[in-house]
Amino acid sequence: MDAPLIDLVEEKKMILKEYGGLLRSLKKNASPQEKKMVRTAFELAMESHKDMRRKSGEPYVLHPIAVARIASEEMGLDATSVICALLHDTVEDTEVTLEEVERIFNKEISKIVDGLTKISGVFDLNSSIQAENFRKLLLTLNDDIRVILIKLADRLHNMRTLDSLKREKQLKIASETSFLYAPLAHRMGLYAMKTELEDLSLKYTEPDLYRDIAQKLQEKKKERAKFIADFIKPLKEELEKRGFNFDIYGRPKSIYSIYNKIKHKGVPFEEIYDLFAIRIILKSASVDKEKSDCWGVYSAITDIYHPNPDRLRDWLSNPKTNGYEALHTTVMSTTGKWVEIQIRTERMHEIAEKGFAAHWKYKEGSSDNAMDEWLEKIHGVLSNTDTSALDVVNDFKHELFSEEIFVFTPKGDLKRLRKGATALDFAFEIHSGVGKKCIGAKVNTKLVPLSHVMKNGDQVEILTSNKQVPNEDWLNFVVTAKARSVIKQSLKEDKKKISIEGKIRWSAN
């Protein structure tokens, strides 16, 4: 049989079409100068990848173009990111050098491309090497957040095109994705991307279950649509009557989240009631009206359906670290089923879909948002090279996915901690020195042990003593990455000291 003929003219057309799509998405927020640089980057990528093909057989350059489109269209990133996305595999896989990139473009771009080059090649079966690569990846968070955002776009495109790889490689990439990249996307506030990454990895790691759930969802689609329409109708009328400008719709939950319920809570598919959530997107007249508008909608909803007081989530007053703002409530429908409703404004919705990173300054310098605080904190943990990379990644992974609670200092300063954090975690959160000397705490003026688990809204005072030193037992109840890493480090230092003292005694005898 003949080898399949490659129609070069047709391919060229396809590449230009994809590139045209990229240019259109850039239109509004790129200067003529930047557009010129995008063109140059496209040409450089075309030229340097010209003899390369992906496993699927298509021209390689389609991959960097697709990654650039994800960065621009789905994440709302800037022109610099688009240029770097186009170049992201050049230095790694072709003759192009970093010096060239810097000469043709600029220092900023070559630095990002360098970051992207350093963290490639994560596909190693040895888990400690993999962990070390993860750590490198995470460390780039602090250099330029765009490195990690482009890496996420790269991963998303690889996941979307995983079909053409061998089964073993599919499994490897898919499990890596659910282990690290999906949690990272979550932490960056990229909810749409997180969901897609999770669903795609499930598709390869648990193909039968995935297909089964997808099929059942499809079968019940009509029934669900009818339920949602009936549920929404009175809400819509009431909100219109009160003069709100809004969009309301039902949104199916992801296959992955349904899978989780089946797998971890043992609920059969037929008994999962919350296969969807209702979403209300509000047009607010101005930013300072947003909060009261959302509560106004809440008020209208609860005049019609009875809310579950335990399921009210107010991320308006205290946005999540990743920037997520919304009001969530769960109400009782007329059919006896609980239904979750998410209320947000258009601005909040944009942040939830595209990620907070797109909205916040790339440059270092003064800024006081929770995301920056968080980045600083994890950078401290990650740069502690004394701990094994595998340990760091494990501790860190919990940090990525955990829910947050808010706790106050005696002076009323608000601190964010992960759910399940203890008084000792809080002490380390204030300062490593305070944590090491901590002997107890007062929570809401009551004396509690170090292992006391804190709740939202607690006010905590830490008691210290100069005689206190960290001990092994502490690792049994601290949950934050920071506390774990500081304790492990001081235990290590202690051991070193003991062994040095031992040696001295030995030689003195």
User: Tokens standing for 315?
Assistant: 């991320």
Under 8 Å between Cβ of 498 and 409: no
The string of DSSP letters for 117-179 reads: HHT-----S-HHHHHHHHHHHHHHHHH-HHHHHHHHHHHHHHHHTGGGS-HHHHHHHHHHIII
- Catalogue the long-range contacts made by 92-97 (C-beta closer than 8 Å, 24 or more residues apart): 92/116, 92/117, 92/120, 92/121, 93/49, 93/52, 94/48, 94/49, 94/52, 95/48, 96/44, 96/48
Query: DSSP E strands: which ranges in 287-443?
Result: 306-307, 313-314, 327-332, 338-345, 404-408, 414-418, 438-443
Q: How far is the CB of 88 from Mn ion (least distance, A)?
A: 6
Closer residue to Mn ion in complex, CB, 25/158? 158
CB of 154 vs Mn ion, minimal distance in Å: 4
Q: How far apart are CA 349 and CA 194, in angstroms?
A: 15
Instruction: Choose between 59 and 323: whose C-beta lies nearer to Mn ion.
Output: 59
In the complex, what is the shortest distance from the CB of residue 98 to Mn ion, in angstroms, rounded to a whole number? Answer: 17
Q: How far apart are CA 378 and CA 435, in angstroms?
A: 17
DSSP assigned state of 71: I
**Closest to 75 in 3D by CA, of 322, 344, 353:** 353
Q: What is the residue type of 90?
A: T
Assess 148 for contact with Mn ion (CB under 5 A).
no
Q: 469-488: which residues touch Mn ion (CB under 5 A)? A: none
Shortest spacing between CB 107 and Mn ion, in angstroms = 22
Q: How far is the CB of 70 from Mn ion (least distance, A)?
A: 11
Q: Which helix (H) or strand (E) holds 276?
A: strand 276-282
Sign of the Cα torsion 492, 495, 500, 503 reads negative
Window 65 to 94, contacts with Mn ion (CB under 5 A): 89
- Which positions from 213 to 242 touch Mn ion by CB under 5 A, shown as an x/- string? ------------------------------
Judged by CB, which is closer to Mn ion: 89, or 325?
89
Quick note: the x/- pattern for Mn ion over 341-380, rule CB under 5 A, is ----------------------------------------
Nearer to Mn ion, 121 or 207 (CB): 121
Which region, judged by CB under 5 A, interacts with Mn ion, from 151-159, 273-281, 301-309, 447-455? 151-159
Q: Rounded to an integer, what distance in angstroms lies between the CA atom of residue 187 and that of residue 321?
A: 8
CB of 26 or CB of 86, closer to Mn ion:
86
Give the residue closest to Mn ion by C-beta: 154
End-to-end CA distance of the chain: 84
Q: How far is the CB of 40 from Mn ion (least distance, A)?
A: 19
Q: Which two tokens stand for residue 150?
A: 């482009």
Instruction: List Cα–Cα distances, 172 to 162, 184, 475, in angstroms.
Output: 11, 18, 31
Measured CA to CA, the distance from residue 272 to residue 263 in angstroms comes to 12
Cβ closer to Mn ion: 116 or 378?
Answer: 116
Please answer whether residues 97 and 119 qualify as being in contact, where contact means their C-beta atoms are separated by less than 8 angstroms. Answer: no
| Contact between 176 and 159 (Cβ < 8 Å) | no
User: Is the CB of 89 or the CB of 372 nearer to Mn ion?
Assistant: 89
Minimum CB distance to Mn ion smaller for 158 or for 432: 158
CB nearer Mn ion, residue 150 or residue 255: 150
Stretch that binds Mn ion, among 154-162, 217-225, 362-370, 436-444 (CB under 5 A): 154-162
Distance in angstroms (rounded) separating the CA atoms of residues 141 and 497: 34
Q: Please identify, using beta-carbon distances, which residue of 190 and 316 lies nearer to Mn ion.
A: 190
- Chain positions 89 to 128 lying near Mn ion, rule: CB under 5 A, are 89
Q: Which amino acid would we find at residue 498?
A: I
Stretch that binds Mn ion, among 10-18, 68-76, 149-157, 211-219 (CB under 5 A): 149-157
CB of 254 to Mn ion, least distance (A): 25
Q: Looking at 154, 372, 425, 429, which residue binds Mn ion (CB under 5 A)? A: 154
Stretch near Mn ion under the rule CB under 5 A, chosen from 152-160, 279-287, 344-352, 440-448: 152-160
Min CB(39)–Mn ion separation in Å: 20
Rounded to a whole number of angstroms, the minimum distance from the CB of residue 65 to Mn ion is 11
Site size toward Mn ion, by CB under 5 A: 2
- Residue 202 C-beta: closest distance to Mn ion, Å: 22
Helix axis angle for 127-143 and 107-118, nearest 10°, is: 160
User: What residues act catalytically?
Assistant: 92-93
State the burial class of residue 6 (Cβ atoms within 10 Å of its Cβ: 0-12, 13-18, 19+). exposed
Judged by the rule CB under 5 A, the positions of this chain that interact with Mn ion are 89, 154
